[in-house]
Amino acid sequence: MAGREAIIIDWGTTNFRAYRFDSAGEPVAEHRAAAGILSVADGAFEAVLDRQIGAWITSDSELLFSGMITSRNGWVETPYAETPASLEALAAASVHRRHASGATMRFLPGVAMRHPVPDVMRGEEIQVFGACVPEEESIVVLPGTHSKWVRHHTGRIEAFHTFMTGEIYAALKGHTILGRLLPEGATGAPGAFAEGVRHMRSHAGAGLLHAAFSARSRVLFDELAPADIGEYLSGIVIGAEMAGGLALGWNPASLRLVGEPPLTARYAEAARIFGLASQIAPADTTIRGFRRLAALKEPDA
């Protein structure tokens, strides 16, 4: 990023995050807003960008975009780089546009896997490259609405699988009998999460459809307090993801967890219950990924 002022923009479905670097490539500012692409009316992405970080942009800036902003519902749809996908492949498949100020804008591609199961991601790939040492084989888990399990090896994303953990948790809590049993405003005892994970580990074969019902039957038998249903169910669902991720056959020695602290701590605890080590990636993982990408592109900058 040396020579030009870079701005990296991680623009997802619900959040907008931007990071500004000086011409020496040092981070100098960060901006976050609840201005995800779903909140942008009539395709007015450039206006929203200017409102959020217009003060940072000059004709000499270089803007790098990743996340759902590059999807069909975003600003500029980019293709997918197919697995195995290197950072070089991402750079090569990015789509260029010019900002009204004259600044350069690069929209990164997503990553697609076709076999054995088709899968896609947009945005997480930069975090994976930020979290991994190029030479090492790593299993990266990115918890969220649509959690990703990613296998990184020799500088490439070799395979990945999505688990709808966050979204299905919300649907179970908000739209089934399980949520209706939970008293409004209840926070739940911390141990209930681990109890849910342990239940899922012990009964993984019967699967989530069966384990979820234990949140009801255990309340009926006074084995679980209604106030603890939310925590217990979080343990069931994250436990189901752990069981599913381990069934992929990647045999990880350790999981590298990338995400926001309260959620990654839950995943670390669930991994421990499943007998697995984990490390939580540093908070600047996204920035590290972008910097590795920018470092690549210097020769033709």
Contact between 203 and a second copy by CB under 8 A: the answer reads yes
In sequence order, the 6+-apart residues with CB closer than 8 A to the CB of 295 are 1
Fill in the per-residue mask, 214 to 233: x = in contact with a second copy (CB under 8 A), - = not in contact. x--xx-xx-x----------
Angstrom distance (rounded) from CA 179 to CA 157? 37
Contact between 283 and a second copy by CB under 8 A: the answer reads no
Q: Which of 244, 268, 284, 296 is close enough to bind a second copy by CB under 8 A?
A: 244
φ and ψ at residue 293, rounded to 5 degrees? -65, -45
Q: Judged by CB, which is closer to a second copy: 166, or 289?
A: 166
Task: Name the minimum Å distance from CB 56 to a second copy.
Answer: 32
Cβ-contact 57, 99 below 8 angstroms: yes
Contact between 206 and a second copy by CB under 8 A: the answer reads yes
Burial 132-153 (b: 16+ CB within 10 A, else e): beeeeebbbbbbbebbbbbbbb
Contact between 205 and a second copy by CB under 8 A: the answer reads yes
With CB under 8 A as the contact rule, which of the stretches 15-23, 53-61, 129-137, 238-246 interacts with a second copy? Answer: 238-246
* Residue type at 277 in one-letter notation: A
Within 97-116, the residues that bind a second copy by CB under 8 A are 112, 114, 116
Indicate the SS3 state at residue 125.
helix
Fill in the per-residue mask, 263 to 282: x = in contact with a second copy (CB under 8 A), - = not in contact. --------------------
Task: Name the minimum Å distance from CB 166 to a second copy.
Answer: 10
Task: Name the minimum Å distance from CB 158 to a second copy.
Answer: 17
Angstrom distance (rounded) from CA 39 to CA 34? 8
Pairing of strands 27-33, 16-21: antiparallel
Task: Name the minimum Å distance from CB 110 to a second copy.
Answer: 10
Q: Judged by CB, which is closer to a second copy: 95, or 164?
A: 164
- Count the residues of the shown chain that bind a second copy, applying the rule CB under 8 A: 46
Q: Judged by CB, which is closer to a second copy: 105, or 172?
A: 172
Q: Which of 3, 43, 102, 174 is close enough to bind a second copy by CB under 8 A?
A: 174
Residue 30, beta-bridge partner list:
19
C-beta neighbour count of 83 within 10 angstroms: 19
Q: Which of 175, 180, 265, 301 is close enough to bind a second copy by CB under 8 A?
A: 175
| Among 157, 135, 162, 140, CA closest to 84 | 157
Burial 215-242 (b: 16+ CB within 10 A, else e): bbebbeeeebbebbbbbbbbbbbbbbbb
Within 114-173, the residues that bind a second copy by CB under 8 A are 114, 116-120, 146-147, 161-165, 167-168, 170-172
φ and ψ at residue 141, rounded to 5 degrees? -115, 125
Q: Hunting for tokens 């100098």 — which residue is that?
A: 28
Query: What's the N-to-C CA distance of the chain in angstroms?
Result: 8
With CB under 8 A as the contact rule, which of the stretches 101-109, 199-207, 277-285, 288-296 interacts with a second copy? Answer: 199-207
> Which residues here bind a second copy, judged by CB under 8 A?
112, 114, 116-120, 146-147, 161-165, 167-168, 170-172, 174-177, 203, 205-210, 212-214, 217-218, 220-221, 223, 237, 240-241, 243-245, 247-248
